[in-house]
Chains A and B, each alone.
Chain A
């Protein structure tokens, strides 16, 4: 029983290791690209559309609505990053139902990489929207004493993003693995269902937290406060 898919090594070229995490990540990526290509082959904007296009439009529209509510800005700028984060984590966790598959998000390396994406996205979007000066001035609000706390806060919430997703997904696979060896037949199925549900919730939470961090980094909250005070 593997604690993480990192332990299953398939190939090794010197320092480069090809383990199960990477292979399953590639599989999820290939599946997402294939489904997207199938859905967008014949796009129509009339009333008659294929089922796949309908599903895709519903998903994209829902994500855009959520991003708009959280960031109080036009969602299209943040949709690629946040939508991809949500869809990748959601599909990666959901495919756990396939036997022999282990979610790549059950490895701290994958979740750390995703959290690093968010860590770099916040200042990038902040500088794009407010300029470098405006963004870094935020670190000195409300007083310059808060600067170390802001910096520590940035690192700790990135770490929390990574560990939260890793812990939830790894615990799901671990519980099922242990239960199969102890009480087979019924209880592992119930725990597997719980693990699937938790995987979806954690995908949503990851994306929502990323949106909240980006919104606070682009100063949307302060803008909205100023507008409502007028």
Chain B
């Protein structure tokens, strides 16, 4: 296999794997956080506003990890420097 094929194969495969693995952890974590928030709202309905706001902030922090994985996957497909390099080499 020449350089072009290897880089293309690796980029596509790892891109899919990155986002697949990277979304498992945050999804589970957010589900647990949401469940705890719901039970604490049930225990203290007066504090629902504070709890909801804290929940959203916490979900955003946890979501960041999934976003990092997504950005890496997108870079591998659309803005891949190694792919651009071998393409210019092959074209030249």
Contact = CB atoms under 8 A, between A and B. Distances in A.
Interface of A: 3, 66, 69, 160, 163-164, 166-168, 170-171, 174, 201-202, 204-205, 208-209, 212
B63 A164 contact: yes
Contacts of B56: 201, 204-205, 208
A164 B60 contact: yes
Interface in B70-92: 70-71, 74, 78-79
Contacts of B78: 3
A170 B53 contact: no
A212 B70 contact: no
A201 B71 CA distance: 19
A160 B68 CA distance: 9
Contacts of A3: 74, 78-79
Contact of A168 (B53, B61, B67): B67
B57 A205 contact: yes
Interface in B12-55: 50, 53
A164 B57 contact: no
A169 to B, nearest CB: 10
Interface of B: 50, 53, 56-57, 60-61, 63-64, 67-68, 70-71, 74, 78-79
B26 to A, nearest CB: 12
30 contacts: A3-B74, A3-B78, A3-B79, A66-B53, A69-B53, A160-B61, A163-B64, A163-B67, A163-B68, A163-B71, A164-B63, A164-B64, A164-B67, A167-B67, A167-B70, A167-B71, A168-B63, A170-B71, A171-B67, A171-B70, A171-B74, A174-B74, A201-B56, A202-B60, A204-B56, A205-B56, A205-B57, A205-B60, A208-B53, A208-B56
What secondary structure prevails in chain B residues at the interface with A?
helix
Given A163-B67, A166-B71, 4 more contacts: A3-B79, A163-B68, A163-B71, A205-B60
Contacts of A167: 67-68, 70-71
A37 B44 CA distance: 43
Nearest to B61: A160
Nearest to A166: B71
A202 B57 CA distance: 10
Contacts of B57: 205, 208-209, 212
A169 B63 CA distance: 13
For the complex of A and B, list the 6 residue pairs with the smallest distance between their C-beta atoms, beginning with the closest. Answer: A167-B67, A205-B60, A3-B78, A164-B64, A160-B64, A167-B71
Nearest to B50: A69
Nearest to B69: A167
A58 to B, nearest CB: 17
